[in-house]
Structures are given as structure tokens and as C-alpha cells.
Amino acid sequence: MQSQHIERIVIVGGGTAGWIAAASMARLLGPSVNITLIESEAIGTVGVGEATIPQIRRLNGVLGLDENEFVKETSGTFKLGIEFNNWGHVGESYLHTFGDAGINLASLHFHHYWLRSQSEDPATSLWDYSLHHKAAYANKFGRLDRVGNTSMTGLAYAFHFDAGLYARYLRKHAESNGATRIEGKVVDVDLDAETGHIKSVSLEDGQVVTGDLFIDCSGFRGLLIGQALGVDYQDWSKWLPCDSAVAVGCESTQPLLPYTKATAHDAGWQWRIPLQHRTGNGHVFCEQFISEERATETLLANLDGAPMGDPKRLRFTTGRREKFWHKNCVSLGLASGFLEPLESTSIHLIQSNVSKLIELFPDKTFDAANEREYNRQVSHEYELIRDFLILHYHRTDREDSEFWRYCKHMSVPESLTEKMKLFASNGLLYKDAEDLFRESSWVQVMVGQGLVPKSFHAMANRVSSDQLSNFLGDVRKLIDRATNDLPQHQDFIDAHCKADLQ
Ligand SMILES: Cc1cc2nc3c(=O)[nH]c(=O)nc-3n(C[C@H](O)[C@H](O)[C@H](O)COP(=O)(O)OP(=O)(O)OC[C@H]3O[C@@H](n4cnc5c(N)ncnc54)[C@H](O)[C@@H]3O)c2cc1C
């Protein structure tokens, strides 16, 4: 029997997407597949993408990375969540943490017990029962799997890192596992006249690179999937209207915070990402409601250290490709779609899509069933994240600018409306096994943005008032004790993963 196995994979693009794909495939597929990555230094990368979510630790595991080395090499820091300022209401803040609040009791989610307690003790917030919240605001971090010998989980965490250093670090791993890099600019794509599959790409210097499977990691331009194969783009900007960003680094300040900040402004929001050698900042905005000049002024007026260099302008359209996989081409990263960085999901989508591709790995016959299933799974994943992002804009009391009035009154996907209605009535959550965001994330963002349920689940009444008050008191004591035992974030980094900053 003649082998139909894919032998040559060509990746176009060497940003975060290209190098995650190369490193993962080289490691998982081994030397039987030849992996070539083409990138152009003259074109460069987007270079932002500095905040992540805890799932990145799975990718590190797959790649066999040593976590301390990884943080050191990327000048990284640890992240326990995202602080949202001025979203539901100007002057209000909440932390979307990576952990659960409290402890679930008799399989009922903790927030129902907290809701019940509100009638007697309305001053306590859900976050009074969050270990992540307590640790984050004490600037503490440590690797803690479990709180003592209780059923309370410890700290779930992710990282902030320098995107340029991250690509360089992954490149080293990909090349050590056999991937080959070609420097050059792709100027032409040759399609098979009969099948429409990509046969080869040609570089400016005349080189022709042939392959069986082509991975488009060429960024927003979508060189293969869009320009060569003509796959359309679905525009979601009516729900997520921001279309621009200005980004600039600034000098670090102390203390080193173990969380990202996302601060809403009049027509968008500003991120603050602490790294070891600088702080990353950017203002994501909608040009229909604010000029680039004013957006840049707002960014610079809200830095907490001196800016390093000139602000960089980026433009995008939120949405996704109609198909992520078409014929013998799979798009990843910005070539496949864009969801704004509010919940740091883009790098996760790259890693998750690479792992789906490996699960549904085709052979040279490119059975349409593999392509269909991949496109189904990835579309659904994008839509679930989209709804979660829209929630942040739509569930707001803000009407103080044209932008916020638009967001508050816009119509949103039915799937999100149903989730909000269900939660508003009695704190119940719509569950989808494929949703990246767990119950606890939906609860934190809904409550944090001011959507507090009218009632709670009847099971929360099983315990007496005294039992409830003892239970809540015990949770708080456990959290206080666990936080006291944690080191300062800066001390943890200095002891385990301090970057070599020249
Ligand atoms: C404002 C902003 C903030 C973001 N923040 C975050 C965040 O905090 N967290 C997160 O997870 N994600 C974030 N993202 C998303 C993240 O930046 C991207 O998902 C990630 O960088 C992947 O980009 P990429 O590799 O797809 O594209 P790029 O970085 O654009 O890389 C494209 C590559 O293709 C190459 N290329 C293009 N054309 C050619 C050609 N003709 N020939 C040869 N090579 C070519 C380029 O040289 C480059 O190597 C953010 C994005 C933006 C816009």
C-alpha cells in the first residue's frame, strides 16, 4: 500500500502563530514530517500579545518546556487574572480571576451560598472569598496546587511575556526538534489548476517551496487562506466595534503586579501588562468614536512610567474566516481571525487550533470530513469566546459617551441574551462543554459588571443560617492563611526565574 501520509508541511509566517505551530508539530509529529517555516524580517510581526490564560501551561507541557526557564527567557511575570476598571460603572473595579470563589458545597456552585448570604450581609463581595483576589492585591504569587488539606484549589495562573522573546524562544525549540527556517518574502502562490490546492510558494529571491500541507500564519493579511484561496472574512464589528490600537512600552514600576489591568476609557479601553523589563500598554479603541490622536493622548496620559519609544498603531477587524481550513491550507493566528485582547484569548486559540489540527490530521487525500469537523469545532470555539467578550461591553450602566451608549443598547447574539437572562433570574449558568470560560469566569464577569441574580438555587437553603455563616467564615480564614504563606511576586521571580536583563 502506498503511504498517503503528509511528508512536507510549509508554514508561512514566523510570529507567535508560526512558531507555536512549528514547535508543536515538530515535537508531536517527529522526524517523519519535514517542517519548513518561512518568515520575512522585513515584514516583521505584530509583536504584541503579551498576556495569556492558564491553558498555556498545557502547551508548555506538550513542548516539554521548563517553566522557570520559559519565564526567565521571555522576561515574563505571573498572572492571576485581569482587573477590569470602569466597565460596568465608572469608578468600579473587579478582578476576573483564574480561580473559583469559595468552595462548592454539595455540588452547588459557591456563588449561590454567597447570594443567599447577601440578604444578611450585603457588604461582603463575592471576591471576599477568592484566594486569587486576596493574593493578587497583596502582590503575592507562589505555586500552590491546593489550600492545605481542604478541597479548595490553589492558584491557577498564566503569564505575561515579551512576544518577541517568546517567538525567539519557541524558534529555538522548534529548530532543535528539526524544523527548518527560511528567511524570505513570499511573492507568489501556485495553485493546482484541477484541485485548487496549493502546490508551492515562491519567494522574492526565486526559491520555490513545495509542500503537502500549508499553514497560513502570515498575520492579518491572510496571504494563503484569503489572498490565494479567496476564503472570506466574517465581520463581527457590529458587536465588538473596536478596530484599532496604539501600543507603547513604559518603564516598570514597583510593586510588580501579578495581574493585567484593563481600564475602560470613553471609546475603548487600555491594557497594562507588567513584564520584568518594562510594562506593556495599549489603548484599544473604535475610530468611529475617537481619533487616533486623542486615543494616543489618552494612552500616554495614563502610563505609570516614562514611555519607551513611539506608540505603534495597529488596525484590525474583529471576526473570523468563513473557513479556517480550506483544501490543503489551514490558517492560524491573525490569518484565521481576530478577537480583541480583552481576555487574552488569541494565543490560546493558536495553541488550541494546532492541537485540533493534530487530532484531525489529514493525509494527502485531504478528506473533506476532516476539514468540515475542524471548521465546525473552531467556529464554535470562536463564537463562545465572542459572546464572552461582548458581555463586557454590553452589560454596562455606562451611558456617558456615544461609544458606551452604542454598546449598552446594541443588539447582541441570541446565545448571549439567553445566558444573561438565565443568570439574572436565579444565578444559573448555561453550560457548553466546549466553552473555554468556565462557570466561575461567567459569574465573575456578570456580577462584576453589575448583573446580580434576583435569586439563588433552592439547594443553598439546605444549610441553616448558622451553618452558612460558619462555612463562609471558614472559607475566609483559609484564604487569609494561604495568602499569608505566599511569597511576594517579585521575590518569587527573583528566586526562580529572574531574566538576564542587560
Ligand atoms: C493590539 C493587539 C494586542 C494583542 N494582545 C494580545 C494578548 O495580550 N494576548 C494574546 O493572546 N494575544 C494578543 N494579541 C494577538 C496576538 O498578537 C496574535 O495572536 C499573535 O501575535 C499571533 O500573530 P500571528 O503570528 O498570527 O501574526 P504576526 O505576528 O503578524 O506574524 C505574521 C508573520 O508572517 C510573516 N509574513 C507575512 N507576510 C509574509 C510574506 N509575504 N512572506 C513571508 N513572511 C510573511 C511575517 O514576517 C510574520 O513573521 C493582540 C493583538 C493585537 C492586534
- Domain residue spans in the chain? 244-315
Predicted pLDDT at 1: 62
DSSP 16: H
Give residue 9's identity as a one-letter amino acid code: I
Pocket test for ligand 1, best of 248, 270, 334, 344 (most atoms within 8 A of CB): 334
The CA distance from 154 to 146, in Å, is 4
Ligand 1: which residue has its CA nearest to atom 6?
49
Pocket test for ligand 1, best of 346, 348, 351, 353 (most atoms within 8 A of CB): 346
Which cell is 153 given? 484549589
> Is it true that the peptide bond before 311 is cis, omega within 30 degrees of 0?
no
Predicted pLDDT at 478: 96
CA of 184, closest atom in ligand 1: 43
Contact in structure between 55 and 348 (CB atoms under 8 Å): yes
Ligand 1: which residue has its CA nearest to atom 41?
186
Contact in structure between 27 and 171 (CB atoms under 8 Å): no
Give the number of other CB atoms < 10 A from CB of residue 270.
23
Pocket test for ligand 1, best of 38, 41, 48, 183 (most atoms within 8 A of CB): 48
Torsion 417-422-424-425 (CA) sign: positive
CA of 45, closest atom in ligand 1: 29
Distance 487 CA to ligand 1 centre (A): 35
Closest to 497 (Cα-Cα) out of 33, 3, 161: 161
Which cell is 424 given? 439574572
Distance 502 CA to ligand 1 centre (A): 26
Distance 294 CA to ligand 1 centre (A): 25
Burial class, 318, CB count within 10 angstroms (exposed 0-12 / middle 13-18 / buried 19+): buried
Ligand 1: which residue has its CA nearest to atom 37?
218
User: Can you name the residues that pair with 51 across neighbouring β-strands?
Assistant: 160
Q: Residue 114 contacts by C-beta under 8 Å, 6 or more apart in sequence?
A: 101, 102, 124, 126, 129, 472
Q: Give CA torsion, residues 111, 114, 118, 121, to 10 deg.
A: -150
Q: Residue 131 contacts by C-beta under 8 Å, 6 or more apart in sequence?
A: 99, 147, 152, 154, 155, 479, 482, 483
Work out the angle between the directed axes of helices 439-448 and 414-426 (0-180°, nearest 10): 80
β-bridge pairing 268-274 and 93-97 = unpaired
Which residues lie with the beta carbon below 6 Å from any ligand 1 atom? 12-18, 38-40, 43-46, 48-52, 163, 185-186, 217-219, 221, 223, 245, 247, 282, 314, 316, 333-335, 341, 344, 346-347
Contact in structure between 398 and 408 (CB atoms under 8 Å): yes
Q: Where are the beta strands (DSSP E) in 88-192?
A: 93-97, 158-160, 180-183, 186-191
Q: Residue 502 contacts by C-beta under 8 Å, 6 or more apart in sequence?
A: none
The CA distance from 407 to 402, in Å, is 9
CA of 185, closest atom in ligand 1: 42
What are the distances in angstroms from CA 442 to CA 94, 97, 108, 233?
Answer: 13, 11, 16, 28
Distance 8 CA to ligand 1 centre (A): 23
Pocket test for ligand 1, best of 46, 186, 314, 347 (most atoms within 8 A of CB): 46
Distance 120 CA to ligand 1 centre (A): 50
Full-model pTM: 0.96
Q: How do the pLDDT tens digits run along the chain, 502 residues long? A: 677 999 999 999 999 999 999 999 999 998 999 999 999 999 999 988 799 999 999 999 999 999 999 999 999 999 999 999 999 999 999 999 999 999 999 889 999 999 999 988 888 999 999 999 999 999 999 999 999 888 899 999 999 999 999 999 999 999 999 999 999 999 999 999 999 999 999 999 999 999 999 999 999 999 999 999 999 999 999 999 999 999 999 999 999 999 999 999 999 999 999 999 999 999 999 999 999 999 999 999 999 999 999 999 999 999 999 999 999 999 999 999 999 999 999 999 999 999 999 999 999 999 999 999 999 999 999 999 999 999 999 999 999 999 999 999 999 999 999 999 999 999 999 888 899 999 999 999 999 999 999 999 999 999 999 999 999 999 999 999 999 999 999 999 999 999 997 6
Distance 324 CA to ligand 1 centre (A): 16
Which H or E run contains 39?
strand 34-39
Distance 17 CA to ligand 1 centre (A): 7
Predicted pLDDT at 304: 94
> Of how many residues is the chain composed?
502
User: Can you name the residues that pair with 295 across neighbouring β-strands?
Assistant: none
Predicted pLDDT at 502: 64
